[in-house]
Amino acid sequence: MKAMENWNTKVLPSDDESIAQAAALLQAGEVVGFPTETVYGLAANAYDTKAVAKIFKAKGRPQDNPLIVHIASLDMLSPLVSEVPELAKKLAKAFWPGPMTMILPKSDRIPDAVSAGLSTVGIRYPSSETARKMILASGLPLAAPSGNLSGHPSPTTAAHMLHDMNGRIPMIIDGGECEVGLESTVILVKPDRVRLLRPGGITVEMLEEICPVEVDNGVLHAVAPDAKVASPGMKYRHYAPVAEVTIVEGSLPAFDRYMQQQARDGVYAMVFDGDEKGLPVPALPFGKEGHPEDQAYRLFDLLRKCDDLGAKKVFVRSPDQSGIGLAVYNRLLRAAAFRIVKLEDEE
Ligand code: TXA
Ligand code: MG
């Protein structure tokens, strides 16, 4: 690991001059950190196997976990895939640019390093202006995973990304806080329906306006390490702070009583705004109850804060699973390694 920490990582504002510098680095086969509307990504030329290898090295990412490819116009799509099914066209029209990644049959131009040997490739057309400008300035489709060290929460600010990548990459473009805060919705496109592999900002309810949606078992359930999964990313523990995270189901009074038993140094509670009163441990407010957008926006920052605070255990009130709440719950399940406590209400 030490050998690669030799960059003096620059954090530059998202102006035209910095974007031109980023584009030059990408064309020269280097990696660059950049903002999107979901999370920060670590980009490289998707056609350049050596450049793509630098992404895996900087993140410490397992080689069998494929990367998604970012485009900034529909014209960029056809060289990357072997076909564009009618349903994919409809979904693109409805949700691109935006936080949706479609898994499609790949073309021969996609190197194995990007697809991890699969016959498919994930394509995303981000809505972030900085992301789009960077893709257009480089003139390249950009392979980019989230810009965290493998296993850490995805970065939603340039500071998060610098924390993980300082010395490991030449540059990060700072576009401020990411609007959504959780990674894109990943769907496998079938002829007449889609399979949801990772929930995100384009919700099941939104997709259902276009076609039927099957939710993959891996969205809400742990998969065995040796299981054959639709999306390799499902296998890995994710988004985990050093602290042990537990999801707690039940009413607020039941939660408060439970926290009385758990209270000791290093224990924190992630609760909805306004529910901090009467808690015997420090609270990390998690957005208003029933406002899953707030929770999506704050989740990864809070998980990183847990590490800054030296938290040993964090108990989280289980959020609502509708809309983007399903994505919040999916990330929390992984942060908690599927640890859930169900509380009964007292008579
Ligand atoms: O919002 C996002 O999607 C961010 C920003 C930077 O665009 N990117 C991102 O990439 O979250 P990453 O690599 O951290 O997550 C991509 C997920 C992984 O779980 C991966 O396993 C899955 O998508 N994936 C990629 N290609 C796939 C494929 N061909 N088939 C199935 N799953 C795939
Ligand atoms: Mg990731």
Return d(Cα 181, Cα 219) in angstroms, integer. Answer: 18
Cβ atoms < 10 Å from Cβ of 14: 20
CA 129: distance to chain centroid?
18
Mean pLDDT of 249-273: 96
In the chain, pLDDT over 70 holds for what percent of residues?
Answer: 97
Q: What is the pLDDT of residues 33-54, one digit of tens each?
A: 999 999 999 999 999 999 999 9
Which numbered atom of ligand 1 lies nearest the CA of 184?
1
pLDDT at 344: 85
- pTM for the structure as a whole: 0.96
What would you report as the CA-atom Rg of the chain, rounded to the nearest whole angstrom? 20
Q: How far is the CA of 209 from the centre of ligand 2 (A)?
A: 27
Q: What is the pLDDT of residues 173-193, one digit of tens each?
A: 999 999 999 999 999 999 999
Of 159, 165, 133, give the one whose Cα is nearest residue 36: 133
Helix (H) or strand (E) run with residue 95 in it:
helix 86-95
Q: What is the pLDDT of residues 143-173, one digit of tens each?
A: 999 999 998 999 999 999 999 999 999 999 9
- For residue 233, which ligand has an atom nearest its CA? 1
207: left (phi over 0), alpha (psi -120 to 50) or beta: alpha
List, chain by chain if needed, residues with CB within 6 Å of any ligand 1 atom. 36, 38-39, 41, 65-68, 99, 101, 103, 115, 118, 120-122, 124, 144-146, 183-184, 186, 197-198, 230-233
Q: How far is the CA of 189 from the centre of ligand 1 (A)?
A: 15
**Is pLDDT above 70 for 257?**
yes
**Is pLDDT above 50 for 2?**
no
Q: How far is the CA of 145 from the centre of ligand 1 (A)?
A: 6
Q: What is the pLDDT of residues 274-295, one digit of tens each?
A: 999 989 999 999 999 999 999 9
**Is pLDDT above 50 for 1?**
no
Interacting residues of 127 by C-beta distance below 8 A, sequence separation 6+: 37, 97, 98, 99
